Amino acid sequence: MDKVELSDEWWIELLSATSRFVRSSQAAAGHHPGSATWRVLTTLDYYGPSRATDIARAECSSQPTVSRLLARLRDEDLIATEVDPTDRRAMLVTLTPAGKTLLNRNRQSLVDAVRSVSSSLEQDEIDALNKAVKTLNSLSDSMREHEC
């Protein structure tokens, strides 16, 4: 199969569509779009225990900004810190059961909002979305080393 070169316009449309979909889902679920709390909890859930520096890089935020956010999330018992077993000088940030519960509740409200408008999808559209999810996750994972 020949490799297809995708245009800049195609990539812009894809990025715009995915961003619009997330914002629309959050608005329909009554969530404040772009919440740093949800992004950090989602990052920890997906990648597991992480150093604050890795979270800052993933969030394209400064270390002091992320440190303040992590302190607030720790005060709210949404995250915890533990010594990194590979480098006892470093700390790992982990989700607490309360953080996981809040994240799952948030995700379920997003699912409920999306489900309410997705009943008209045909099987071929669902299949295409399933394939797109796998592709987007793979692309995201391959770009992780290039994050801010």
What pLDDT sits at residue 57? 87
| Strand, coil or helix: 18 | helix
Q: What is the pLDDT of residue 146?
A: 63
* Beta-strand pair 79-84/87-95: antiparallel
pLDDT value at residue 35 = 79
All structural domains of the chain: 32-109+121-146 (1.10.10.10)
Res 34: pLDDT: 55
Tokens of 94: 């982990």
Q: pLDDT by residue (tens digit) across 97-106?
A: 999 999 999 8
For residue 82, which amino acid is it?
E
Residues of the chain with pLDDT under 50: 33
Q: What's residue 78's pLDDT? A: 95
Distance, C-alpha 40 to centroid of its chain: 7
Q: Output DSSP code: residue 96.
A: -
The tens digit of pLDDT for each residue in 87-98 reads 999 899 999 999
- Amino acid letter, residue 30: G
Main-chain dihedrals φ then ψ at residue 3, nearest 5 degrees: -80, 130
